[in-house]
Amino acid sequence: MATPIILDQQLCFSIYQAHKVFNHFYTKALAPFSLTYSQYIVLLALWQYGTLSVKDLGARVGLDSGTLTPLLKRLEKDGWLTRSRSKNDERKLDVALTDHGQAMQEKVYERVGTCLEWIGLSADQYAQMRDTVLSVRDHLADIPDNYFDHLDDAH
């Protein structure tokens, strides 16, 4: 007999609930800028790394081109960034902040902060929790896609 799975004891459920609450927090925090959370993480990457190819940007923020392209089009339409052919390789599309996108960095940072003050963790606790979540992510990412295939054959 299988061991019962208790919902409130599941790490995945706790992460899911935290994800929902984070989304709500960022929806409210980013509302004055008309930004979604996905747009915000794209801007964070550009503020940190500068101009990136669409491919490199997607890898940095974990979004595929099907999700990233419409998001970038919207940010471009709203004046945050530009997309242009790479001078080094015309097959690549580079993404760069506009003057507006660069000027808004400080205002967005001031509004959102680092979440430390909002969630009541010390800098050390915050880093430890982030590292633990990253470890969970990495362990799950290491599970091969065919991991459960042999279980399907048993039923």
Same structural domain for residues 62 and 77? yes
Same structural domain for residues 70 and 121? no
Same structural domain for residues 78 and 100? yes
Token pair belonging to 39: 């747009």
Residue 11 covered by a domain: no
pLDDT for the residue 80: 98
pLDDT for the residue 90: 82
What is the tens place of the pLDDT at every residue in 8-58?
999 999 999 999 998 999 999 999 999 999 999 999 999 999 999 999 999
Task: Assess whether pLDDT exceeds 90 at residue 63.
Answer: yes
For residue 150, what are the domain limits? 115-155
Give mean pLDDT, residues 80-89.
91
Residue 102 covered by a domain: yes
Task: Assess whether pLDDT exceeds 70 at residue 65.
Answer: yes
Same structural domain for residues 52 and 100? yes
pLDDT for the residue 123: 86
pLDDT for the residue 3: 87
Nearest Cα to 44, choosing from 95, 87, 85?
A: 95
User: How many domains are contained in the chain?
Assistant: 2
Q: How far apart, in whole angstroms, are the C-alpha atoms of residue 155 and residue 109?
A: 52
pTM score, whole prediction: 0.85
